[in-house]
């Protein structure tokens, strides 16, 4: 229920999550009237925000991510119910295939109706993410496809041609005691009676999702291109705005169906930052690996390094990347030496 930083956590793992950077980022943001997160993912920065009254908007181009957060806001109990399921390899393959086949309609429905959501898709997607190893969950890029009756390996059926809409067939996550909603439980009351719906695991999941629903109550969730939510109508029109930009990095694969976006998008975001960084009512934080966005320093930006969790990857490159995580802060962000001086001034 809590992240490594002690903040409320998403109930699924997300590579590149920034929970450990929350304290650093919110120090350079300071108190803002408005917060916008165009690449939400696990929404770690939102969930790790200090208490305060502000307008909050998160966005993700991935329909599964956007649907999850929208569904939790509207009906957390139903989503929790679909998430609550044992680890089962056959179910993982079957649900993965089914989810991938819902992707196109999911996006269309999310875009057509701002109140539409699918609790079953949200819960199964979350459950699967907790059982999946590595990237590629619901990307539709694997070799196993549904032929109308069953799931088959397209590599053995070359006449089927393109592998789009397929899934990878992998063992579920078995490397430790579990992750996300499958993690080891804290000490919990088992409830009363013999009702299996009130088992410790179910109680834990329902409590977690209820907390997320309360937090997401007034958060605005959008699904689409990041550029739509960095316009004045979403940002500065609401006052001083903290804008947290965490696009797929130039190096390395990213999360779930966002995998493979990479470099061009990061370059596009950096170019936007260079043009808008001096806006007085914007405090912008951009994430990347060391050196990736250093061109912004010439425009008055400053950097703050931090160390991310390494995750499953144990290669030298993965270790190096986790240690080189950097945030670039726009000129109107609060420098830490300023914070220290202000504290001493107040003490005096």
Q: What is the pLDDT of residue 325?
A: 87
Query: Which CATH architecture best describes the domain 19-61+224-347?
Result: 3-Layer(aba) Sandwich (3.40)
Q: Which of 17, 14, 118, 20 is nearest to 66 (CA)?
A: 118
Residue extent(s) of CATH 3.40.50.150 domains in the chain: 19-61+224-347
Asked if the model's pLDDT at residue 78 lies above 60, the reply is yes
Structure-model confidence comparison of residues 289 and 317, the more confident one: 289
pLDDT for 2: 72
Mean pLDDT value across the chain? 79
Q: Is the pLDDT of residue 162 over 60?
A: no
Q: What is the pLDDT of residue 263?
A: 62
The pLDDT value recorded for residue 214 is: 96
Is the Cβ–Cβ distance between 323 and 68 less than 8 Å?
A: no
- Residue 25 in contact with residue 18, Cβ under 8 Å? yes
The 3-state DSSP class for residue 244 equals: strand
pLDDT in tens, 253-285: 544 344 445 568 999 999 999 999 999 999 999
User: What pLDDT was estimated at residue 119?
Assistant: 98
In this prediction, residue 167 carries a pLDDT of: 39
Using CA atoms, how far residue 144 sits from 38, 153, 174, in Å, is 32, 4, 21
| Integer Cα distance of 208 and 12 in angstroms | 12
Q: Are 35 and 8 in contact (CB under 8 A)?
A: no
Interatomic CA distance for residues 252 and 315, integer angstroms: 12
Task: Categorize the per-residue pLDDT at 97 as very low, low, confident or very high, splitting at 50, 70 and 90.
Answer: confident
Q: Which two tokens stand for residue 19?
A: 């929970």
Q: Check residues 166 and 86 and name the one with the higher pLDDT.
A: 86
Give the β-pairing of 302-305 and 325-329. antiparallel
pLDDT at 160: 37
Per-residue pLDDT at 191: 38
| Selection from 58, 61, 48, 38 nearest residue 18 by Cα | 48
Question: Which comes out higher in pLDDT, residue 214 or 160?
Answer: 214
Give the lowest-confidence range in 238-242, 276-280, 322-326. Answer: 322-326
Taking only the tens place, the pLDDT of each residue in 28-65 is: 999 999 999 999 999 999 999 999 999 999 999 999 99
Q: What are the respective helix, strand and coil percentages of the chain, to the nearest 5?
A: 45, 15, 45
Chain mean position to CA 108: 21
Please list, in sequence order, all residues whose beta carbon lies within 8 angstroms of the beta carbon of residue 187, skipping any fewer than 6 positions away.
Answer: none
Of the chain, the percentage scoring pLDDT greater than 90 comes to 53
């Amino acid at each position: 229920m809590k992240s490594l930083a002690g903040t409320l956590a998403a109930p699924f793992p997300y590579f590149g999550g920034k929970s450990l950077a929350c304290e650093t980022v919110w120090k350079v943001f300071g108190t803002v009237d408005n917060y916008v997160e165009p690449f939400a993912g696990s929404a770690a920065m939102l969930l790790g925000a200090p208490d305060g009254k502000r307008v909050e908007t998160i966005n993700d181009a991935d329909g599964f991510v956007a649907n999850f957060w929208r569904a939790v806001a509207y009906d957390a109990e139903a989503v929790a119910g679909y998430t609550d399921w044992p680890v089962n390899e056959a179910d993982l393959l079957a649900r993965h295939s089914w989810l991938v086949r819902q992707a196109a309609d999911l996006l269309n429905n999310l875009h057509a109706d701002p109140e539409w959501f699918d609790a079953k898709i949200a819960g199964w997607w979350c459950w699967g993410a907790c059982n999946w190893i590595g990237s590629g969950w619901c990307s539709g890029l694997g070799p196993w496809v549904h032929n109308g009756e069953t799931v088959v390996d397209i590599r053995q059926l070359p006449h089927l041609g393109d592998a789009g809409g397929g899934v990878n067939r992998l063992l579920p996550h078995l490397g430790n005691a579990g992750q996300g909603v499958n993690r080891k439980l804290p000490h919990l009351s088992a409830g009363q009676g013999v009702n299996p719906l009130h088992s410790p695991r179910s109680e834990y999941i329902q409590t977690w999702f209820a907390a997320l629903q309360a937090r997401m109550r007034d958060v605005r969730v959008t699904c689409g291109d990041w550029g739509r939510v960095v316009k004045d109508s979403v940002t500065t029109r609401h006052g001083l705005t903290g804008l947290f930009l965490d696009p797929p990095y130039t190096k390395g694969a990213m999360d779930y169906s966002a995998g493979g976006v990479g470099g061009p998008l990061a370059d596009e975001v950096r170019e936007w930052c260079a043009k808008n960084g001096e806006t007085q009512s914007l405090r912008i934080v951009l994430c990347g690996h060391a050196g990736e966005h250093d061109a912004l320093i010439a425009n008055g930006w400053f950097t703050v390094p931090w160390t991310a969790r390494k995750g499953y990857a144990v290669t030298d490159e993965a270790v190096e990347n986790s240690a080189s995580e950097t945030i670039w802060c726009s000129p109107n962000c609060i420098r830490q030496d300023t914070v220290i001086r202000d504290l001493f001034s107040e003490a005096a």
